[in-house]
């Protein structure tokens, strides 16, 4: 049994994916081909934003968003401490100070009240200038954007939505990757919508942001590629990946997102009496990048992981270490007093296999192993 079965998906979509790859090899526009334009338009339509810019990966998408907002030295950027490293790494790379904020213990996402406290503290201390908020849609569930937006507006801060895991999630009738002033996603193969290599995208409603990020992504181009008006990057989604993503987006929209939700509902039904299962608040929808249980302690987690491994069932720990305890952020000595929820979660979370092609039989076998 695989944790995420990409091969099952390939075989379900093989005919379309193979045909699309063959078409790119025939027309030969490997960079910036028609498929890239079509995909960008379809992604913007799906997420409900004015603009979508595809790029090389989800990390670059964050970097381009931060550069677009002018984040740099002396700035404070507020980031949840329970996330994948790239959410914070990109901030540090721009020379800004990460201010790590704790998360809600049931949704795993940024705690808006603690965010407010953290912003106030930074203002009072006067050492850094609050610049923006990075909110992460962890495990496929959108962060609490209504609450985060209220805090952001109180201090006039823009929001970057790190939707690398969130693509397909929703709040009411609005889709993930539309909640930030700039939103980003990743097409890393294991994400809810993945390609066959690296890929990413950026979403916004603002024309000036879109123009600036389009320039930054192509060596700071001005009117054309050999007119360079700023220092930028080389960050593109290549045509082959776009050609692979088109039928995958179609399947995601038609049935994969529903299938993920069916697997999650089946797990929850079987496990909720015994375990703390993931909470999806009223009105929210998850794309289930991960299905993550909260266990009693690390000891129980180790026992369960060993037991499942014996039965050929893979499990993963996302994430064992919060950002403020990462070696790379070793010098971090800034307001760490209240990051207890994230620290506790790191010792207790365990993710179980989740993908749209997981059979009922396998889901039941996994649940039985956890209940035995």
Ligand X SMILES: *Cc1c(COP(=O)(O)O)cnc(C)c1O
Cα angle 235-236-237, degrees, rounded to a multiple of 5: 140
Number of residues near ligand X (by CB under 6 A): 15
Closest approach, Cβ 163 to ligand X, in A, equals 8
Based on the shown chain and the rule CB under 6 A, indicate whether residue 277 belongs to the binding site for ligand X: no
Q: Which residue is nearest to ligand X (CB)?
A: 58
Residue-wise burial string across 63-95, b where 16 or more C-beta atoms lie within 10 A, e elsewhere: bbbbbbbebeeebbbbbbbbbbebbbbbbbebe
Based on the shown chain and the rule CB under 6 A, indicate whether residue 162 belongs to the binding site for ligand X: yes
Task: Residue 134: count other Cβ atoms within 10 Å of its Cβ.
Answer: 27
Nearer to ligand X, 83 or 241 (CB): 83
Contact call for residues 92 and 71 (beta carbons, < 8 A): no
Based on the shown chain and the rule CB under 6 A, indicate whether residue 319 belongs to the binding site for ligand X: no
At residue 28, φ and ψ (nearest 5 deg) are 75, 10
Positions 138 through 157 that interact with ligand X (CB under 6 A): none
Nearer to ligand X, 87 or 241 (CB): 87
Residue 68's nearest CA partner among 289, 252, 217, 277 is 217
Nearer to ligand X, 190 or 371 (CB): 190
Integer Cα distance of 226 and 291 in angstroms: 47
Nearer to ligand X, 188 or 291 (CB): 188
Nearer to ligand X, 87 or 315 (CB): 87
Distances in Å between the alpha carbon of 77 and those of 63, 135, 160?
Answer: 13, 10, 10
Positions 196 through 235 that interact with ligand X (CB under 6 A): 198, 200
**First-to-final CA distance of the chain:** 19
CA 109, 113, 119, 122 torsion: positive or negative? negative
Closest approach, Cβ 59 to ligand X, in A, equals 3
* Interface pick for ligand X out of 55, 77, 136, 217 (rule CB under 6 A): 136
* Interface pick for ligand X out of 109, 186, 204, 292 (rule CB under 6 A): 186
Helix H or strand E segment including 184: strand 182-186
- Contact segment (CB under 6 A) with ligand X among 53-61, 98-106, 207-215, 227-235 equals 53-61
Nearer to ligand X, 78 or 84 (CB): 84
Rg value, the chain, Cα: 21
Where in 233-357 does DSSP place strands (E)?
284-285, 291-294, 349-352
- Contact segment (CB under 6 A) with ligand X among 74-82, 142-150, 159-167, 271-279 equals 159-167
Positions 65 through 94 that interact with ligand X (CB under 6 A): 83-84, 86-87
Positions 320 through 349 that interact with ligand X (CB under 6 A): none
Closest approach, Cβ 99 to ligand X, in A, equals 17
Nearer to ligand X, 88 or 304 (CB): 88
Contact call for residues 96 and 75 (beta carbons, < 8 A): yes
Residues that bind ligand X (CB under 6 A): 57-59, 83-84, 86-87, 136, 162, 164-165, 186, 188, 198, 200
């Amino acid at each position: 049994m695989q944790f995420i079965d990409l091969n099952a998906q390939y075989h379900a979509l093989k005919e379309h994916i193979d045909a699309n790859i063959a078409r790119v090899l025939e027309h030969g526009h490997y960079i910036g081909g028609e498929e890239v334009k079509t995909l960008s338009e379809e992604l913007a339509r799906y997420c409900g934003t004015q603009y979508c810019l595809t790029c090389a990966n989800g990390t670059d998408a964050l970097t381009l968003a931060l550069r677009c907002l002018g984040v740099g030295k002396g700035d404070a950027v507020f980031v949840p401490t329970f996330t994948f490293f790239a959410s914070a790494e990109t901030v540090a790379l721009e020379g800004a100070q990460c201010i790590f904020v704790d998360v809600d213990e049931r949704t795993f996402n940024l705690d808006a009240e603690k965010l407010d406290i953290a912003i106030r503290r930074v203002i009072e201390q006067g050492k850094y200038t609050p610049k923006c908020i990075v909110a992460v849609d962890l495990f496929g569930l959108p962060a609490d954007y209504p609450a985060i937006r209220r805090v952001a507006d109180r201090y006039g801060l823009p929001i970057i939505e790190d939707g690398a895991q969130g693509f397909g999630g929703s709040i009411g009738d609005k889709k993930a990757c539309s909640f930030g002033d700039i939103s980003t996603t990743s097409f890393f193969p294991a994400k809810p919508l993945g390609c066959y290599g690296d890929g990413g995208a950026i979403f916004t409603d603002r024309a000036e942001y879109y123009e600036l990020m389009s320039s930054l992504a192509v060596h700071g181009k001005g009117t054309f590629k050999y007119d360079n008006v700023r220092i930028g990057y080389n960050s593109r989604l290549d045509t082959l990946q776009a050609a692979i993503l088109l039928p995958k987006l179609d399947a995601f929209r038609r049935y994969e997102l529903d299938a993920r939700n069916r697997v999650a509902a089946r797990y929850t039904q079987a496990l909720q009496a015994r375990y703390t299962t993931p909470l999806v608040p009223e009105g929210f929808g998850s794309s289930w990048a991960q299905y993550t249980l909260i266990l009693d302690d690390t000891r129980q987690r180790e026992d369960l992981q060993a037991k499942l491994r014996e039965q050929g069932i893979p499990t993963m720990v996302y994430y064992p270490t919060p950002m403020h305890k990462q070696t790379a952020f070793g010098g971090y000595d800034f307001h760490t007093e209240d990051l207890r929820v994230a620290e506790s979660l790191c010792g207790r979370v365990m993710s179980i296999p989740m993908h749209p092609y997981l059979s009922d039989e396998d889901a039941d076998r996994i649940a039985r192993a956890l209940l035995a």
